[in-house]
Structure 1
Amino acid sequence: MTKPDLLIHTAFKLFYQQGIHAVGINAILAETGVAKKTLYHHFASKEALIEAVLIYRDQIFMDWLTARMMSAGDGKFAVLGLFDALDDWFHDRVDVLLPFKGCFFVKANGEFSDHMVNDICQRHKQNITSFIQANLVGHSSELSAVDLAQSISVLKEGAIAQAYVAGDLDAAKRAKNMAVTLLG
């Protein structure tokens, strides 16, 4: 693993577990054994590292989610596969995502206001909704696909929040049942 990759991966792990503002650069350096000069050679600031971490998590999450949804089939089967994927994540059966600690993007978004972090988090959520919508286009009219994708996204977000905040690790199963009703 390259030093920038090590720094990004370690920063993500610490940010996800403890929060972005709670983790200082020195904690990341102590965990990685990388010198401060090396970190600043690759990332001009903590903000630049945060941006790289958000992009990293987005890529990892989207690759995982896309693969899982596509393995369930196409159209509404892919969309329903989203909830099976979430169930595996909530139950810590997805090594690439680390043990479940809620949505990193919701948590990161909450730590900032009027910041590039908020833009990246919003784009991540929009990309997921767009991917869901793309899988629904053949299922119904374009307008219905837009509405359905937004509703499915609300179910997804609610399941994640319920699993994390309330400790309801079966929330994805209930959300899937609601999605089946929505999709008909």
Structure 2
Amino acid sequence: MNSKKLALIQTAMKLFYRKGIHAVGINEVLKVSGIAKKTLYHHFSSKDDLILACLHYREQLFIDWFKQQLDAVPAGKAAILAIFDALDSWFNNRSPAMGEFNGCFFINASAEYGREDSLIYAACQQHKSHVRAIIKPHVDAFEADENKSNQLTDSLCLLKEGAITTAKVQAKLSAARDIKPLAASLINHPLRQANI
């Protein structure tokens, strides 16, 4: 990727994540990046195009980080619990790759672009599906019943999303630690989980 294009994406990503997408104009991105407007429009046809590039950039950053956290422990139940340890590190700014915590960029972006026909909204949905697809094989490692595996995966994703939202909206940075025992209960008692 062109270095100026990458600089624009990284600058915009930081600004959008910290301040919100609608709160940041193109001129602010240009000022902070030190890159000319002509160069920006050479790489991006619109602000929405830049936002999509930021979403793809953050997606790759998050997915690489998330996989690394799960790959550091044995597959299955240990990896499921590692999700909440990883989130705790992120919330408390102990994961340099993720930068300073300000909620989920994809939740934030989808809230600002709530139209279901928006490419931005679709990119946010795709990210959540991708994260679920990473979690699912770890559930499959100990739950052979496909229906129960799907239900448990969905429940774990809800716990993950709830922890992220609670950490951001309520500034409860212990949210992932607090919910981890419930995740452990779900994975250790899957038959009970099916009745939720």
**How many residues were matched structurally?**
184
Residue 88 of structure 1 aligns to a residue whose secondary structure is helix
Q: For residue 153 of structure 1, what is the aligned residue in structure 2? A: 157
Q: Is the 8 A contact 1:80 1:180 kept in 2?
A: yes
TM-score (norm 1): 0.97
Deviation at 1:131, TM superposition (A): 1.2
What does residue range 62-73 of structure 1 map to in structure 2 within 5 Å? 62-73=63-74
Percent of residue pairs bearing the same amino acid type: 45
What amino acid maps onto 1:119 in structure 2? A
Deviation at 1:137, TM superposition (A): 0.9
Are 1:129 and 2:132 counterparts?
yes
**Partner Cα distance (2:94, 2:32) in 1:** 25
What amino acid maps onto 1:43 in structure 2? F
**Partner Cα distance (2:18, 2:177) in 1:** 25
Q: Is the 8 A contact 1:130 1:149 kept in 2?
A: no
Q: For residue 95 of structure 2, what is the aligned residue in structure 1? A: 94
Deviation at 1:85, TM superposition (A): 0.3
TM-score (norm 2): 0.91
Q: Name stretches of at least 5 consecutive residues in structure 2 with no aligned partner.
A: 189-196
Q: For residue 23 of structure 2, what is the aligned residue in structure 1? A: 22
**Partner Cα distance (1:172, 1:39) in 2:** 38
Deviation at 1:72, TM superposition (A): 2.0
**Partner Cα distance (2:20, 2:142) in 1:** 40
Q: For residue 33 of structure 1, what is the aligned residue in structure 2? A: 34
**Partner Cα distance (1:121, 1:59) in 2:** 13
Are 1:177 and 2:176 counterparts?
no
Structure 1 stretches (4+) deviating beyond 2 angstroms? none
What amino acid maps onto 1:123 in structure 2? Q
Q: Is the 8 A contact 1:152 1:179 kept in 2?
A: yes
Q: Is the 8 A contact 1:87 1:173 kept in 2?
A: yes
Residue 53 of structure 2 aligns to a residue whose secondary structure is helix
Q: For residue 85 of structure 1, what is the aligned residue in structure 2? A: 86
Deviation at 1:138, TM superposition (A): 2.2
**Partner Cα distance (1:69, 1:176) in 2:** 15
